[in-house]
Chains A and B, each alone.
Chain A
């Protein structure tokens, strides 16, 4: 089932949650809506589900306009962040709920329902917990029950609202990989909302990055990570060093770090430029070796985080803090100490015109 979102606008009072949002989701894809809280991603998901209705714009499933249909008519599976399991029903009855509330004509008989639920419980590996109540399960188990409950009605689309948001880090990691494998098996068109860029990049086929009620970029995880369309996407998909500067005639001169690389020749003279470099794309050297694109800096602090070492430096020209990430091996080779004078070079970088000088 493909989903087409066309020019959706939604306001809550005076707050604009979504403005002219359009998005295409192909059949069988797993798409992540990624953005900071308040960016409208959950509202968009709820509009696709029919739990919220847009002020204007339309939603199409397989080319059919379903904007005015209710959640019940749309036959979507929805998984809530806080599970929304029925507390008074057992795990088994929770999963069976959607099958039992069907109109009499369309309802399967009891033994068919039992077989279907058993199959789903096997899928989520909770066969032994069938007679327990949701309050007796862990968070990860509850979310799997919620997922099975949504899948029981064989929805055409599966929508997940921050499905792993309430879980602790380890369960989160396992469950999201499990979701990916599940999707590879079931191939149901799925959309999930998350504010965790790692989650989106790892699990999704396509990522839609949202900010302030609009979609900034849609693309495969590699596309949005490697070639972010806007400064926001760059910033949101990982930590970043931002260097501000101004194009004088050719090349960024008056500014902070003189960095190498093409991409600025077309820039107008005197345009404000912000250069974005990810911490792991910075190289630290003891000697300059005549490389004019390196800038001198002083090591301020060193944090060892597992296999990585985060080095905080201060640029000598501008006194700005520069954050670099190097591997432990490189760190040991350089034997960096706070106070050391080194040279920093950007291996890759991206520039955006910035509207306002700092």
Chain B
């Protein structure tokens, strides 16, 4: 089969739209990323490694990726729960709940950060009771996780919600009539259906968490080796005019994020395997002949 770029199609404008897409992605994504790698290449391999694998940088990676992962996992569970409640039940404040889910999207991150810090500070409304329980939230990795959980909430809810809304009630009825209880219906029928969307939401929440800056720096306390996130480390390097150092750490982060998202995507491909319908199969009308099925026993 010969491959030609120009294929006959009833959809016009392929050349124009592809050209624009390439141009747009180049300007917005590819060129800045390339510049990042270019700047890093000023460093020798040894210098690069020294910067990227310094104890302070490693501690920041652990915090950033660890807290993002925990926050995204919390959101995965709670987000599915929130989406479930908002979609499945009719109650008075439903619309209100539905709209406050978007708040973390809309709120300037710095405002969110300051509010959360005030709340979770040792003398804050939520911080004080937690202190009495012996948990220090603000200025610890726990605080970072709280901020990232707040930021990531809408992602899982908004990806799972439409899938739940489209969910066929008959599937649950079928499961019930086949003898499945509520729990089995949920784990065997509903969960597999919403899983791909939930994983997408999880990946988005995680990605957002890794790159988050504004809401975290207030509540984190920013102690090097302890509560310093990678984004802050980069900003610090920039303020010291260590551009190469900043980009080196950024590149390291980019690579880790990329590997992580790739893994999630593969996971998703695997979990969403049997989705493609082939319309041609609809034309296959089977001839139904019962004879081999019951009828003559000697045929067996």
Interface residues in chain A, defined as those with a beta carbon under 8 Å from any beta carbon in chain B: 49-51, 70-72, 75-78, 80, 82, 84-90, 97-98, 101-102, 122-125, 133, 135-141, 146, 149-150, 152-153, 170-171, 174-175, 177-178, 181-182, 185
Contacts and interface: CB of A to CB of B under 8 A. Distances in A.
A87 B193 contact: yes
Interface string B170-190: 110111111111001000110
Contacts of A86: 171, 174-175, 188-189, 192
Residue of B173, B179, B292 contacting most chain A CB atoms (<10 Å)? B179
A183 to B, nearest CB: 12
Contact of A84 (B171, B278, B288, B290): B171
Interface in B85-126: none
B18 interface: no
Given A84-B171, A122-B293, A178-B288, A135 B277 contact: yes
Contact of B285 (A97, A170, A178): A170
B277 A75 contact: no
A152 B180 CA distance: 13
B276 interface: yes
17 contacts: A71-B173, A71-B176, A72-B181, A78-B174, A80-B174, A85-B174, A88-B193, A90-B274, A98-B178, A98-B179, A101-B181, A122-B292, A135-B278, A138-B282, A171-B285, A178-B290, A185-B294
Contacts of A174: 285, 287-288
B284 interface: yes
Nearest to A80: B170
Interface string B155-176: 0000000000000101101111
B286 A125 contact: yes
Nearest to B293: A123
Given A98-B179, A122-B293, A51 B275 contact: no
Contacts of A177: 288
Contacts of A82: 168, 170
Q: Is the interface of B mostly helix, strand, loop or mixed?
A: loop
Contact of A70 (B176, B287, B293, B294): B176
Contacts of A175: 288
The 10 closest A-B pairs by CB, nearest first: A98-B178, A133-B274, A84-B170, A135-B277, A101-B180, A78-B177, A84-B174, A88-B192, A71-B177, A71-B176
A88 B190 CA distance: 10
Contacts of B294: 123, 185
B70 to A, nearest CB: 28
B285 A138 contact: yes
Given A80-B173, A84-B171, A138-B281, 16 more contacts: A70-B176, A72-B181, A75-B179, A82-B170, A86-B174, A87-B274, A101-B181, A101-B184, A124-B293, A137-B281, A149-B178, A150-B178, A153-B179, A171-B285, A174-B285, A185-B294
Nearest to A186: B294
A327 to B, nearest CB: 30
Nearest to A159: B177
Interface of B: 168, 170-171, 173-181, 184, 188-189, 192-193, 274-278, 281-290, 292-294
Contact of B276 (A78, A102, A135): A135
Nearest to A119: B293
B290 to A, nearest CB: 5
Contacts of B176: 51, 70-72
Q: Which residue of A49, A136, A170 has the most chain B CB atoms within 10 A of its CB atom?
A: A136
Contacts of A133: 274
Given A76-B177, A84-B170, A101-B180, A135 B285 contact: no
Nearest to A179: B288
Nearest to B289: A125
Contacts of A135: 274-278
Contacts of B276: 135
A84 B168 contact: yes
A159 to B, nearest CB: 8
A125 B292 contact: yes
Q: Counting chain B CB atoms within 10 Å of each CB, which of A122, A138, A153 scores highest?
A: A138
A89 B174 CA distance: 14
A102 B188 CA distance: 13
B187 to A, nearest CB: 10
B288 to A, nearest CB: 5
Nearest to A77: B177
B281 A181 contact: no
Nearest to A152: B178
Nearest to A49: B177
A46 to B, nearest CB: 8
A87 B193 CA distance: 8
B300 to A, nearest CB: 10
A13 to B, nearest CB: 14
B286 A141 contact: yes
Contacts of A150: 177-178
A203 B290 CA distance: 16
Given A84-B174, A86-B171, A102 B293 contact: no
Contacts of B178: 97-98, 101, 149-150, 152-153
A51 B178 CA distance: 12
The CB with the most chain A CB atoms within 10 A, among B170, B177, B294, is that of: B177
Contacts of B189: 86
